[in-house]
Structure 1
Amino acid sequence: MSFFNYFHLHSVIDILVVSFLLYQLYLWVRESRALRALTGLAVIGILSLLARWTGMVMTGWLFQSLWSIILLVIVIVFQPEIRRILERMNPLDLIRGQPITLQRETIAELTETLFDMAREKIGALIVLPGRDPIEEHLREGIQLEALVSRELVRTLFQPPSPTHDGAVLIRGNRVERAACFLPMTTASGLPSEYGARHRAAIGLTERCDAVCLLVSEERGTVALARKGTLIPFFEPSRLQQELEQELEDTLTSDASKGRWRGFLTHNLWAKGMAVGLAAVLWVALAGQQSSEIAITVPVEYQQISPGIELRGEVPREVSVRLRGSQLALESLRTRQVRVRVSLAQVREGINYFLLSRNQIDLPAGVEITEIRPALLLLEVHKKESSAPSAEQ
């Protein structure tokens, strides 16, 4: 059966919606703790299937009973991640776009300032928000709304300034808040030299897609925190390049077109895989899932001799009940289905016609379960000759 014959606009929309959900699931798995959980669920699912196939009744019942409890535990444990997925699925973000984060000139000035502070061993922690809401993760803080400058950043982190111990939030080329406190990471096995700033930067980037820049006042090093990991940098140019790549979609010069270009091209292979998997699922499910519908089909009488005529009540349509795959049944919307009755062999008087599958043009994979009425009764008579000519 050729699936392209049944492929319509609503099929494309169906595949795109499922592709979007699969891509969001991929982001959740990649950026959270869900990978181990999904691996465990896959192992339990395989063991459950093996127990069922091998006839282990008790083991199969045990795994089957565990599923309801496991799903409830997943919802509770991964509540922040599930909420994050729902926030990312907000269609209004695609319409109104994301706020401009930084200008390229501001990034260059910021990176140079951080390395100057690192040489003087002045600690700093700067937060650059991403797409995810960040306000719920910040505690306290002083509202500033000041333009970003080298002097302002140094002043905020220079002891004994009251804001030097907290984090600074920079959004839209402005210092929005200062002296903010970030959530600490609960991860174990971190290096012993990591201080409060390191753990706060890791903790925030574990919970959202923000980027943190930090300067260690003890070792005089600069690092970038993203997705719960710290990356050290030793040259301002390398850090600037990394920031421009990370914030490519929200830079001022690319804000209008870069947002849509990034939406389409970012993680292109993952999006392609999501579309491919959704297409495979569509073919597998729509091609195999059977359903049943009832339609009214017109009757078309063919090969009528010019010397006969039909009298009485002539059936013009019949009701046909069909069963088949959803793909095959969907194709009936775009084609004219008719019951063709040949009158080549009729005789004068009452004629009976038993309708069959061969008289209805249906796509492959569709079967007829009922035709009502299945028997047509036609009254056939010869046409009356014209009035005789006058006697001569």
Structure 2
Amino acid sequence: MEPLFYLFSGFRWQDALDILLNSYVLFRLYVLFRGTNVIRALLTICVLWVAGQAAVSLGLIITNWAMQGIITVAALVIIIVFRNEISSVFQTKDLKSFLWGIPRHQFHTPLNIIADSVWALAQKKIGALIVLPLKQGLASVVQGGISLDGKLSQELLVSAFWPDNPIHDGAIVIQGDRIISAGVILPLSKRKDLPSFFGTRHRAASGLTELTDALVIVVSEERGKVTLFKENQVYDIRNRLALEKLLQDHAGDDSTKKGVRHQTIELITAGLISLFCITGIWLSFSRGMETLATHEIPVEFINPDQKMEIISSSASNIKLLISGAKPLINAIKPEQINIKLNLSQSVVGVNKLSVTKANILLPPGIRLKKIEPSELDITLDTLIKKELPIQPNWMGKLPMGVVMKEAKAIPKTVRVIGGSLALKDISTIFTKQISLDNLTESGTATVDLVLNPASLKLENKNKIQIHYLISKKPVL
């Protein structure tokens, strides 16, 4: 649990938003490209990236370098080879389908209408080529065709293959209950084991099923026979019921509750995998770019007793060693870090206070490594008032021939506020130094008092007047 706690220590709400947003983007890419060759190529790149990261952790420098090169080349190959599939996805007109819609493959497909139409075409010996794509897309393997997006009906399906119709030689693609395109050209099979009586339609059907998971129905124009192609399987259809049963077996699962449940499980799994992958990338970046920094932060004392004051502290600043992602470390300002020590339980005299993580406030995503010093000696004292006499602090010597007869301070005493410990041994308060060197006659000097220690305060002004009386020495 401790390593896991360390990995997610300093986790911010911004990190959660970052992970969720990118996880959704990855999930949407899966939804848009699922069933296509693009998604399989992207999965291959992901495997290569994981292998590269493993190589880094094992210290395999050349292997990691090779993986990076392969990934770069593979990304360019995907863009070039699968440009048609990528283009078809990003040309989506419906914003809902692009951002949050979930396409339902062959949901609610009226298989009875397809069976009736195919059997009607077979009885009239009208050639037909009908494609039902399942999970994999067709954009990268088919060519030509015109977009119809018409409601599936027996009349429309039969009329599309009528001999006088200019699109009757191509294939029709059915998605759900819609005919999405007609006159589509399919890739021809290169298999050598197909029967000799199979014509171009049969070879085109076999060619498509070799490249995708689509189901293709062929009606022979010469023989009036119905053939169904699925992957490497070829099914000769004897009657209409057999055709509908095969359609139900291969293309009907997704129109049932079982198919809906299967797709829901698939999408939930894809979402969880996306979340796991993005979280792994976040951990890789946040820990891989981790750096150290040192900051000296002043200590703030809170909840002091109003009757006491701080006389001294063993340190006024605390040195903190912190770590985190390099961008976060570089963005830290000193005012974003606070150290607060609670004095509510302190007593008069010396108090030893420990500085812990609980006393330190750090920005999100930053971790504390070291505290120096980790303990402070704080001296507290009770505030009292004491009346002290003022003593002028003379320095130097009077000029020759003069003598100071009297010197007095106005006022004679001052009231000093300070800690009882500090004032205990103080009986007199001195002024700042007053030079005697240039005093030749009586006068008044305005001086400041010296407060030692500096924590002492005067109740009134600290400007004091010193009246001094100077006279000449009598001549003997």
Q: Could you state the TM-score of these two structures normalised by the residue count of structure 1?
A: 0.58
SS at the partner of 2:167?
coil
- CA contact 1:113–1:150 (8 Å) conserved in 2: yes
From the superposition, tell whether residues 12 and 241 of structure 1 become closer, same or farther in structure 2 (CA, over 3 Å): farther
Cα distance in 2 for residues equivalent to 1:376 and 1:135: 72
Q: Which residue of 2 aligns with 1:383?
A: 383
Going from structure 1 to structure 2, the CA distance change for 1:310 and 1:51 (only over 3 Å counts) comes to closer
Q: 2-side partners of 1:165 and 1:246: how far apart?
A: 29
Cα shift at 1:236: 0.4
The 3-state SS of whatever aligns with 1:266 is helix
CA contact (8 A) 1:108 1:240 kept: no
Deviation of the 1:280 alpha carbon:
5.2
- Go from structure 1 to structure 2 and tell me whether the alpha carbon gap of 1:4 and 1:109 turns closer, same or farther (over 3 Å shift): same
Matched, 1:34 2:34: no
| Offset of residue 108 of structure 1 | 2.0
Q: Contact 2:130 / 2:171 at 8 angstroms: preserved in 1?
A: yes
The answer as to 2:248 corresponding to 1:245 is no
**Secondary structure of residue in 1 paired with 2:129:** strand
- Distance change >3 Å, CA 137–CA 367, structure 1 → 2: same
Deviation, 1:109, is 1.0
Give the Cα separation in 2 of the matches to 1:306 and 1:201: 92
Q: CA deviation at 1:125?
A: 1.8
**Aligned amino acid, residue 243 of structure 2:** E
C-alpha displacement at 1:240, in angstroms? 3.8
Q: Is the partner of 1:338 in helix, strand or coil?
A: strand
Amino acid at match of 1:220: K
Q: Is residue 236 of structure 1 aligned with residue 238 of structure 2?
A: no
CA RMSD of superposed structures (Å): 6.2
Alpha-carbon distance in 2 for matches of 1:46, 1:149: 54
Q: 1:99 to 1:244 in 2, by over 3 A?
A: same
Matched, 1:93 2:97: yes
* CA deviations over 1:98-126 (Å, ceiling 9, x no partner): 78998847432122322443466543123
Residues 98 and 191 of structure 1, relative CA distance in 2, 3 Å threshold: farther
3-state DSSP of counterpart to 2:322: strand
Inter-partner Cα distance in structure 1 for 2:12 and 2:47: 38
Gaps (5+ residues) in structure 2? Answer: 388-414, 416-476
1:367 aligns with 2:369: yes
Counterpart of 1:245 in structure 2: which amino acid? D
2:26 aligns with 21
Partner of 2:451: none
User: How much has 1:239 moved relative to structure 2?
Assistant: 0.8
Query: d(CA) in 2 for partners of 1:380 and 1:46?
Result: 57
Matched to 1:154, the amino acid is V
Aligned equivalents of 1:280, 1:48: Cα separation in 2 = 16
Q: Could you list the per-position Cα deviations for residues 339-368 of structure 1 after superposition, in whole angstroms to 9, with x for gaps in the alignment?
A: 3265947769xx9x9996678447996214
User: Secondary structure of the equivalent of 2:169?
Assistant: coil
Q: Tell me if 1:168 matches 2:172.
A: yes
Q: Can you list the C-alpha shifts for 1:30-83, whole angstroms capped at 9, x where unaligned?
A: 743639965995899599779965xxxxxx659836843662255125634477
Aligned-partner residue type, residue 200 of structure 2: A
Residues of 1 paired with 2:270 and 2:80: CA distance?
24
Matched, 1:301 2:290: no
SS in 1 for 2:69: helix
Distance between the aligned counterparts of 1:74 and 1:115, measured in 2? Answer: 46
- Counterparts of 1:45 and 1:347 in 2: how far apart (Å)? 62
Supply the AA of the counterpart residue of 2:194. Answer: S
Cα-to-partner distance string for 1:168-202 (whole Å, 9 max, x where unaligned):
34568565654x132416x7547434653355456
Cα drift, residue 139 of structure 1: 1.8
More helix by share: 1
Deviation at 1:86, TM superposition (A): 8.3
SS of structure 2 residue aligned to 1:340: strand
The alignment's TM-score, normalised by the length of structure 2, stands at: 0.50
Quote the residue 1:75 is aligned against: 76
- Counterpart CA distance in 2 for 1:40 and 1:262 is 25
Q: What whole-Å deviation, never above 9, does each CA across 1:287-311 have from its counterpart, x for those lacking one?
A: 6652457889784425745543359
1:265–1:144 Cα change, 3 Å? closer
Q: 1:221 aligns with which of 196, 217, 226?
A: 226
Which letter does structure 1 place at the counterpart of 2:369? E
SS for the counterpart of 2:187 is coil
Give 1:266's aligned amino acid: E
> Counterpart of 1:383 in 2: which secondary structure?
strand
Q: What corresponds to 1:338 in structure 2?
A: 339
Counterpart among 149, 155, 161 of residue 157 in structure 1: 161
C-alpha distance 290-300 of structure 1, shift in aligned 2 (>3 A): same
Q: Deviations over 1:315-343 (max 9, x none)?
A: 999895621479x99xx9xx995332659
Structure with the bigger percentage of strand = 2
Q: Percent identity?
A: 20
CA contact (8 A) 1:124 1:216 kept: yes
- Alignment correspondent of 2:115: 111
Distance, in Å, in 2 between the alignment partners of 1:239 and 1:263 is: 19
Give the partner amino acid of 1:221.
Answer: V
Partner of 1:192: 194
* Gap change, CA 1:370 and 1:94, over 3 Å in 2: farther
Task: Assess if the C-alpha contact under 8 Å between 2:354 and 2:375 holds in 1.
Answer: yes
Whole-angstrom CA distance in 1 between matches of 2:100 and 2:269 = 26
- Paired position in structure 1 for 2:144: 139
SS in 1 for 2:76: helix
Structure 1 pair 224/368, CA: closer, same or farther in 2 (3 Å)?
farther
| 1:266-285 alignment runs, 5 A limit | 266-279=266-279, 282=282
Asked if 2 retains the 8 angstrom alpha-carbon contact of 1:322 and 1:370, the reply is: no
Structure scoring higher RCO (CA < 8 A, sep ≥ 6) equals 1
SS at match of 1:301: strand
Are the structure 2 counterparts of residues 97 and 366 from structure 1 closer, same or farther at C-alpha, using a change threshold of 3 Å?
A: same
**What's 2:435 paired with?**
none
Alpha-carbon deviation of 1:248? 7.1
The question of whether the paired residues in 2 share the 8 Å contact of 1:118 and 1:215 is answered with no
Secondary structure of 2:217's aligned partner: strand
1:323 maps to 2:323: yes
Say if 2:109 and 2:255, in contact at 8 Å, map to a contact too.
no
